Amino acid sequence: MVKHLIVISCLLGACLLAMPARAIEPSNDPIDRKVNACMDRDPSTAGMMQCLQQAYADWDAELNAVYADVRMRLDPQAQSALKDAQRLWISYRDAEFVAIDTIYGAMQGTMWQLAGLSRKVEFLKNRVIELRMYAEDLNQAN
């Protein structure tokens, strides 16, 4: 069990190092606090998997909310550009998730399922952070 937690911690740490410079600190984000508390309550492999699945759902919902907020505040030309970028990002996400599933699916052990799901969560989270930066910049411009 400790080995699993160490592996997940290392993977999450590596993902955090790759985040954009203006990113929200992970410990300050409500979704991150929620997943950390969830994992503290149930550090079993099944428990961590459920926590990460909930984190995925939460980040996906946040992505849709922030995207809609940003898009609503843009002029038609910028809305179109953002929509095009988001569609391309979705294609990229889908391809990346196939790669993640293929890479981690070939590895032996349930910890790699956790690692793969953790990668997907971080992938979504990073897009939310990018969209939040647009929202922040729009706030500062107005």
Q: Are 25 and 93 in contact (CB under 8 A)?
A: no
What is the distance in angstroms between the CA of the first residue and the CA of the last residue of the chain?
Answer: 50
**Beta strands in the chain, from DSSP E residues, in sequence order:** none
Indicate if the pLDDT at residue 86 is higher than 80.
yes
pTM of structure? 0.80
The whole-number pLDDT of residue 15 equals 46
Q: What is the per-residue burial (b if ≥16 Cβ within 10 Å, else e) of 79-89?
A: eeebeeebeeb
Banded model confidence at residue 95, pLDDT cuts 50, 70, 90: very high
Residue 105 tokens read as 């699916």
